[in-house]
């Protein structure tokens, strides 16, 4: 059973959490710490899978506790539970916190977040990789994107649509916008699965704070295997897959979800290149490498609360046959876009496309085999447009 630690400086609130989650005691080992010092002391004696921590506490506050957990126990999932319900507070915690829940919260919301986290931890079983994701504080942002956003925020004539166009070019900025917008903080009835929605919920002021005030968007300094050139190449490939995946779907709403899933489909490679320079983060050449990148990406996005359709596409875009679906959906669009782009870009390398399933057989299963030639034409046209 997973070990979960709840931290607050008020005993009555801890007692309330214990009563609220009493039905879960058969499936979770729940522990309670009165204050930050007690929480850190408990970590010295027990391994916890999840920590749910209040942010405003005397002496040792929540940020101090969560930073300690990130630095010393990185495989633990960190959830902030706070009565500070302003967006500014939340945007300042994104490099430390996986999920942010506003107090008071109902039992169903808290239980849903914790159940999702427990499910995700079964996806990424390797402790080494869980620690890589757990250490994650920020992702590199292309300097040109950072500069474009700064200029846009300083221009009073900038529209929200122009901001979206800039954000669509960068994996890290897009991912963080979706993380914050999908936080349980908002209490939304449906997940936010387009950048337009995410930025509309955040608003220009909050987005500016998120970009300019958070260390996640500080200028990237190349190191290890992730040079400026490699980062630019990863970003360009992500944008290309995103645009092709969107173009393959006739339904505009699914197309927008496919765009985001395409943007984020290889975020696991970005994580490895940034935080595990000794790991193979280059272009995957085997099923094992493909699976590792995909699992890391899906695990991270799932912890951040992103919609299931996007997490699923990231997790299985190399092996979509592992998910039963009777139709050409978001996963199918991302998988098809990724494989056909690879086919087009490495037409002379027979081994380059040998890692995925037989695309025509897969498309047969989702009722889209007759569209394969049209899909190839779409890929060729979009690649040509990107090169111009």
DSSP of 126-170: -HHHHHHHHH-------HHHHHHHHHHHH-TT--HHHHHHHHTT-
Residue 302: pLDDT band (50, 70, 90) is confident
Is the pLDDT at 173 greater than 60? The verdict is yes
Asked if 149 and 176 count as a contact pair (C-beta separation under 8 A), the reply is no
Quick check: bond before 104 cis, omega within 30? yes
Quote the pTM value: 0.73
Q: Is 278 exposed, middle or buried (0-12, 13-18, 19+ CB in 10 A)?
A: exposed
Strands 29-34 and 50-54: unpaired
Is the pLDDT at 342 greater than 50? The verdict is yes
Residue 218: pLDDT band (50, 70, 90) is very low
Q: Give the separation between CA 280 and CA 273, rounded to whole angstroms.
A: 8
Tokens 């916890």 -> residue: 48
- At residue 242, the pLDDT reads 93
Q: Give the separation between CA 214 and CA 205, rounded to whole angstroms.
A: 13
State mean pLDDT over 223-251.
Answer: 84
- At residue 103, the pLDDT reads 81
- At residue 82, the pLDDT reads 80
Asked whether the CA dihedral 355, 360, 364, 368 is positive or negative, the reply is positive
| CA angle 207–273–67, rounded 5-degree value | 55
162: which 2 tokens? 């122009």
Is the pLDDT at 219 greater than 50? The verdict is no
State mean pLDDT over 52-56.
Answer: 92
Q: Give the separation between CA 145 and CA 222, rounded to whole angstroms.
A: 15
Residue 339: pLDDT band (50, 70, 90) is very high
- At residue 133, the pLDDT reads 66
Return the top range by mean pLDDT from 39-53, 148-162, 170-184. Answer: 39-53
Q: Give the separation between CA 359 and CA 320, rounded to whole angstroms.
A: 10
Q: Is 191 exposed, middle or buried (0-12, 13-18, 19+ CB in 10 A)?
A: middle
Mean pLDDT of the chain: 82
- At residue 325, the pLDDT reads 77
Q: DSSP letters of 261-312?
A: HHHHTTHHHHHHHHH-TTS--SS--SHHHHHHHHHHHHHHHHHTT--HHHHH
Report which of residues 349 and 195 the model is more confident about.
195
Instruction: Give percent of the chain above pLDDT 90.
Output: 34
Sequence-ordered list of residues with C-beta below 8 angstroms from that of 3, at least 6 positions apart, any chain: 28, 29, 31, 46, 47, 48, 49, 50
Is the pLDDT at 194 greater than 50? The verdict is yes
Residue 226: pLDDT band (50, 70, 90) is low
* 205-214 residue pLDDT tens: 777 777 765 4
164: which 2 tokens? 């979206």
* 28-37 residue pLDDT tens: 999 999 999 9
Asked if 145 and 87 count as a contact pair (C-beta separation under 8 A), the reply is no
Residue 67: pLDDT band (50, 70, 90) is very high
Tokens 């969560």 -> residue: 66
- Could you give all domains of the chain from N- to C-terminal order, each with its CATH number? 3-123 (3.40.50.2300), 143-387 (1.10.3210.10)
- At residue 284, the pLDDT reads 57
State mean pLDDT over 238-259.
Answer: 93
Instruction: Give percent of the chain above pLDDT 70.
Output: 79
* 120-169 residue pLDDT tens: 777 666 666 666 666 555 566 666 777 788 888 889 899 989 999 998 88
Asked if 353 and 343 count as a contact pair (C-beta separation under 8 A), the reply is yes
Asked if 264 and 174 count as a contact pair (C-beta separation under 8 A), the reply is yes
Helix (H) or strand (E) holding 79: strand 77-82
Specify the 3-state DSSP secondary structure of 222.
coil
Q: Give the separation between CA 231 and CA 299, rounded to whole angstroms.
A: 21
Residue 335: pLDDT band (50, 70, 90) is very high
């Amino acid at each position: 059973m997973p070990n979960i630690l709840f931290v607050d400086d008020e005993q009555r609130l801890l007692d309330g959490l214990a009563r609220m989650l009493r039905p879960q005691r058969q499936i979770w080992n729940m522990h309670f710490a009165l204050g930050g010092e007690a929480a850190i002391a408990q970590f010295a004696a027990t391994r916890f899978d999840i920590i749910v921590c209040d942010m405003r506490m005397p002496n040792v506050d929540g940020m101090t506790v969560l930073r300690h957990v990130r630095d010393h126990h990185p495989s633990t999932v960190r959830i902030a539970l706070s009565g500070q319900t302003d967006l500014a507070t939340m945007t300042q915690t994104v490099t430390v916190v996986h999920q942010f829940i506003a107090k008071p919260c109902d039992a169903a919301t808290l239980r849903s977040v914790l159940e999702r986290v427990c499910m995700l931890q079964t996806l990424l079983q390797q402790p080494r990789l869980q620690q890589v994701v757990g250490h994650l504080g920020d992702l590199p942002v292309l300097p040109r994107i950072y500069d474009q956003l700064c200029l846009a925020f300083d221009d009073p004539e900038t529209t929200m649509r122009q901001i979206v166009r800039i954000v669509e070019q960068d994996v890290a900025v897009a991912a963080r916008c979706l993380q914050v917008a999908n936080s349980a903080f908002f209490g939304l009835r449906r997940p936010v699965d387009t950048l337009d929605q995410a930025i509309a919920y955040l608003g220009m002021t909050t987005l500016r704070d998120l970009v300019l005030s958070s260390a996640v968007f500080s200028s990237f300094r190349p190191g290890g295997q992730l040079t400026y050139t490699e980062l630019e190449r990863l970003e360009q490939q992500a944008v290309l897959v995103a645009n092709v995946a969107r173009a393959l779907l006739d339904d505009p709403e699914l197309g927008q979800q496919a765009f985001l899933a395409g943007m984020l489909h290889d975020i696991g490679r970005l994580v490895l290149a940034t935080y595990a320079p000794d790991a193979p983060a280059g272009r995957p050449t085997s099923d094992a490498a493909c699976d590792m990148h995909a699992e890391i990406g899906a695990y991270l996005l799932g912890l951040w609360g992103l919609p299931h359709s996007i997490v699923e596409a990231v997790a299985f875009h190399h092996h979509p046959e592992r998910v039963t679906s009777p139709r050409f959906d978001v996963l199918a669009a991302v998988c098809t876009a990724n494989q056909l782009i690879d086919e087009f870009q490495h037409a002379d390398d027979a081994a380059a496309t040998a890692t995925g399933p037989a695309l025509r057989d897969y498309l047969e299963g989702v009722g889209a085999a007759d569209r394969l030639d049209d899909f190839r034409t779409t890929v060729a046209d979009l690649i040509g447009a990107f090169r111009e």
